[in-house]
Amino acid sequence: MREEQYEISGMHCAACSASVERVTRRLEGVERSDVNLTTGIMTICYDEAKVTPEQIIKKVEKAGFGAALRQKEEEKQEASAEQTDAEESALKRKKTELIVSGIFSAVLLYVSMGQMLPFGLPSLPVPEFVDMHAHGVNFAILQLLLAIPVLYCGRNFFIGGFKALFHGNPNMDSLVAIGSACSFAYSVVMTFLIDYDVHYVHNLYYESAAVVLTLVSLGKFMESRNMQKTKGAITALMRLSPDTAILALSGHEVPTKALKVGDLVLVKPGERVPVDGIVTEGESSVNEAMLTGESMPVEKHPGSEVIGGSVNQNGVLTVKVSRTGEDTTLSRIIRFVEDAQGKKAPIARVADKVAGIFVPVVMTIAALAAVPWAIAGQPLSFVLRVFTSVLVIACPCALGLATPTAIMVGTGLGAKHGILIRSGEILEITHSVDTVVLDKTGTVTEGKPAVTKLTAIGCKEEDLLRTAAAVEAVSAHPLAESICAYAKEKGLENLPKPETFENLSGRGLKATVEGQTVLAGNHRLLEEQGVDATPLVSQADALAAQGQTPMYFARNGVLLGLISVADPVKETSLTAIEKIKKSGIHTVLLTGDSRAAAEHIGSLVGVDEVIAEVLPEEKAGVVQKLQSEGRKVMMVGDGINDAPALTAATVGCAIGSGSDIAIESADIVLMRDDLMDVQRSLRLSGLTLRHIKQNLFWAFCYNTIGIPIAAGALYLFGGPLLSPMFAGAAMSLSSVCVVGNALRLGRAKL
């Protein structure tokens, strides 16, 4: 099976997207077809042996829409600015047409309704030659002339609406077009009949046809403007990558897309890093906030990794390119967010099913509502008013926009905080998680050893650390590196170099420093060399039971002290796990370490359950066992050995600094090494789902209440008959409210 994405043009409402889904799913060999109205993207999975891209495109075009295979990542980023400019131009054109429509509609309302104000209000003066009573034909012709510019400005409703209707896929534009066309055509006929009977002057509905188009256009304009804001996250990310880069060796400026792995580029203060790379020269602070959500600048020096799109704040950096094109972190983030925004959440399918049959049902309801009034003896003008109001007020747009807009804003908000969510489905189901399984090393802990305890007996602590660092400086062991790093942190420099050095396998080191014999290693080494370690044995055993690695140091046969090294708990782990537990979620620490070491770390961070001594290949089995108990499990990890468990979990969550395999296996990627983002992702899911439910409720509620009123339910009981103008205003307002509510999510605090 092959999965591809197509850009669909010509869609105006949920009925349109449902039509595209319907016709493509009918093709033999198509397994799945989902269309996102908000992004205009169709994701289709099909058997290449049975159907071709040409057949898919032809089928979509036959249904009345445009289709084109989606651009590759690099082309897409190049076209993003042009696309944004095109959208802005289209929005300006809509605004101009809306202003023209508004002016002509206002004058038309003044002329048509000014002499018929309700509630005993005085009539508004109009020139005598267009007085409805004295010059009925002039009165009608003036309205006709005022309505024509409005209909022209709203021509897309007629072009798109009738085109969709003739293709057998009626949409929202079809409803508006039929309603306005009926009102306008009826009014034109009445205009010609006024000469025969002056009373026909009261049966003109030019203002209904024009004002409905103006109000719906207003709603569409506000909807389009707000929809641009929902795409803000992607647009902002695409604009992070600079167009050019400076080659360090030649000083020449070249296009960023021309860079190759291994090239050296110069990044000056205030400039953006063009692509991912490693600093070879220079030191600076780099702002990575747009990519990781980390507000504080990160210090960079030779050997540090830098991310393309981040901002160099001070100092000049020479960077060796490590990744280009689609492999860069920025491209992967963009792809992650776009995929999430393009895929549907399960809750969206309910609305889509309704929207797919909504327009034909509404047209049927409009006809069924009009016929009884005609049978009851109501004049044609009354029947037309009911028919038009039902068509205009019933808007499937609100239903279609309810879910994708919230998904777009939610994933954008997550990206802004360094939380990348793979799909709308994951964004929805994350809220249902009731168990969080945390890998220990690199997730709860720092993932690299550090000095945790220093005890000096035969000397001062500084002397012990100085001697230990001098010996360990010649060792490549990770524990040795942590002692040297600790000494540097304490300001100990210009350490003496060992004159002799011997590595004693399984026991430690023996060296000569400044003419003195120094031992560094375990209890066995000291016993062999005749050094009494009794004063520190109990302390060393206690530290070892906690999963730490204690190392003894002696000089000239005299015990100097003990330095213990361990993988320390991250600063935020305790607070993050407390917050996760407060949400009513069961927390589990999963590790291959000994039971005693795991229990110690578990007690430090306050997890509910500890599962220790688990082999890497057994982690997925632990997750599956929890799921078999009915739990919805989120697995949080960072290593290659976590990948199977991340895939097996209900929701797999990878720490961004982890391995590429872990990140590719995960449903959620946290760009920062901060467990607080686990709680933020859970909260983001809950907030997004709440906004989706609010949108769907109001969309369904609006149509449930609006359609009966438009059909004349209130008039039956002595109430007013809904005017098509008010129906148009209500319909536009429903879509604007749904999009506005989704945008409100973007201001939420995680």
User: What whole-number distance in Å separates Cα of residue 190 and Cα of residue 204?
Assistant: 7
User: What whole-number distance in Å separates Cα of residue 667 and Cα of residue 650?
Assistant: 9
User: What whole-number distance in Å separates Cα of residue 149 and Cα of residue 139?
Assistant: 17
619, 590 contact by CB (below 8 A): yes
| 552 beta partners | 521, 562
Tokens of 167: 């293709």
User: What whole-number distance in Å separates Cα of residue 274 and Cα of residue 328?
Assistant: 10
Tokens of 742: 């989704």
Tokens of 170: 């009626």
Neighbours of 143 (CB within 10 A): 25
User: What whole-number distance in Å separates Cα of residue 537 and Cα of residue 545?
Assistant: 12
User: What whole-number distance in Å separates Cα of residue 534 and Cα of residue 527?
Assistant: 10
User: What whole-number distance in Å separates Cα of residue 287 and Cα of residue 309?
Assistant: 9
The DSSP 8-state label assigned to residue 588 in this structure reads: E
Placement of tokens 């009261």 in the chain: 202
687, 588 contact by CB (below 8 A): no
Where does 21-72 show beta strands of DSSP type E? 30-36, 41-46, 66-69
Closest listed residue to residue 722, CA positions, set 390, 436, 405, 253: 390
Question: What type of residue sits at position 240?
Answer: L
Tokens of 516: 């003195």
318, 279 contact by CB (below 8 A): yes
User: What whole-number distance in Å separates Cα of residue 238 and Cα of residue 334?
Assistant: 7
Q: Helix count (H) and strand count (E) of the chain?
A: 26, 26
C-alpha angle 267/268/272, rounded to 5°?
Answer: 60
User: What whole-number distance in Å separates Cα of residue 585 and Cα of residue 602?
Assistant: 16
User: What whole-number distance in Å separates Cα of residue 371 and Cα of residue 364?
Assistant: 11
Question: What is the separation, in whole angstroms, between the first and last Cα of the chain?
Answer: 39
* Residues found in the chain: 750
User: What whole-number distance in Å separates Cα of residue 190 and Cα of residue 637?
Assistant: 74
- CA 145 from chain center: how many Å? 48
User: What's phi and psi for 124, nearest 5 deg?
Assistant: -85, 140
Element (H, E) at 143: helix 136-153
Distances in Å between the alpha carbon of 130 and those of 102, 135, 146, 456, 573? 21, 6, 13, 106, 78
Active site residues per annotation: 439
Placement of tokens 């994708």 in the chain: 404
Contacts 24+ apart (CB under 8 A), 290-297: 290/236, 290/237, 290/240, 290/416, 291/240, 291/329, 291/330, 291/333, 291/418, 291/671, 292/418, 292/656, 292/671, 292/672, 293/416, 293/417, 293/418, 293/419, 293/671, 293/672, 293/677, 294/418, 294/671, 294/672
Question: What type of residue sits at position 617?
Answer: E
675, 443 contact by CB (below 8 A): yes
CA atoms within 13 A on the CB side of 713: 10
Placement of tokens 């010509």 in the chain: 10
Tokens of 605: 């961070």
